[in-house]
Amino acid sequence: MSGTGALRAHLIEARLAGTLATPREKSLERYRLFAARDPRALLGLEPVGEWPVAEVLRLMARCCGVAADPVHTRGPNVIDPDRTLAALERFAGRIAAAAARRAPVLLGTGHPHGLLEFYAALADGLAAAGCAVLTPGRGFHADMTTRFGVRTYVLDYVRGVALMRGTGVGGASGEGRVHTHSPLPVRLALAAAADGGGPLPELVVGDHGWICGAGQLGFEAIGLADADDPGPFVGEAEGRVCAVVPLDDAVAAAHYQPLWRYVLNRAELPW
């Protein structure tokens, strides 16, 4: 599936774009949380602008294709597949540029159950091009606030992709891969890289707190974001996140395979 027509059809069929499983109500609530500067919605970003709810909605309409009418408050949310394809081109361009200069890269995800394979394929392609795929801070612990209270998690890497795991006996890394939108993991990794004398990444690839947290600290950051997560798109609008691909970030892992193959093909990297 290398052509844009076939990929567009796949985006709609897999509900990565087009009509989504995510309800409109959930997205609007996240926009309200972002406008209120709730850390759960900021994802590590510190916006420069005011970003009231109406402006957040207008931005998401431009970037994702969600309905711009604030009176439309119920029903399924949507992402315009053509906006997804255009953003994938920008994303692939950043991947190609990093590969061309053999830049050190850091990849991480807060959605390891669905998105790990997507990032791992990019890590493989970038490594084959001569990029150093960084793994700083492996085994470091972080206390993170969750809906269940404060939990201690461990930074780990799978095929060059950072993720958080639960802690087992004696605080050791457990099997569970943690779903988190927190910027703490990327801050932990970047601090470990700096404290260890580098190298620091020239490109951070990920989602949620990984790209918002890295972009806030001045690193080139690109990634994926759903229509109910305005943080990365505000980061892009304010110039701190470089490329954000709008798509549903919670479908079955296999549905992302055509996307990473498309990106690697456009970046002229092997897979």
The pLDDT tens digits for 102-139 are 999 999 999 999 999 999 999 999 999 999 999 999 99
What's the half-sphere exposure (Cβ side, CA atoms, 13 Å) at 114?
Answer: 16
Measured distance CA(25)–CA(22) in Å, rounded: 9
For residue 184, how many other CB atoms are within 10 A of its CB? 18
Q: Report the sign of the C-alpha dihedral through residues 142, 104, 211, 108, in that order.
A: negative
At residue 199, the 3 state secondary structure works out as coil
Q: Using an 8 Å Cβ cutoff, are 188 and 137 in contact?
A: yes
pLDDT in tens, 173-228: 556 899 999 999 999 999 999 999 989 999 999 999 999 999 999 999 999 999 99
Is the backbone peptide bond immediately before 230 cis, with ω within 30 degrees of 0? no
State how far Cα 40 lies from the chain centre. 15
> Burial of 174 by CB count in 10 Å (0-12 exposed, 13-18 middle, 19+ buried)?
middle
> Structure pTM?
0.94
Which pLDDT score, from 0 to 100, does residue 2 have? 52
Question: Is the predicted pLDDT of residue 33 greater than 50, yes or no?
Answer: yes
Q: Across all residues in the chain, what is the average pLDDT?
A: 94
Cα dihedral: 121, 126, 130, 133 (round 10): -80
- The pLDDT value recorded for residue 169 is 44
Phi, psi of 183 (to 5 degrees): -80, -5
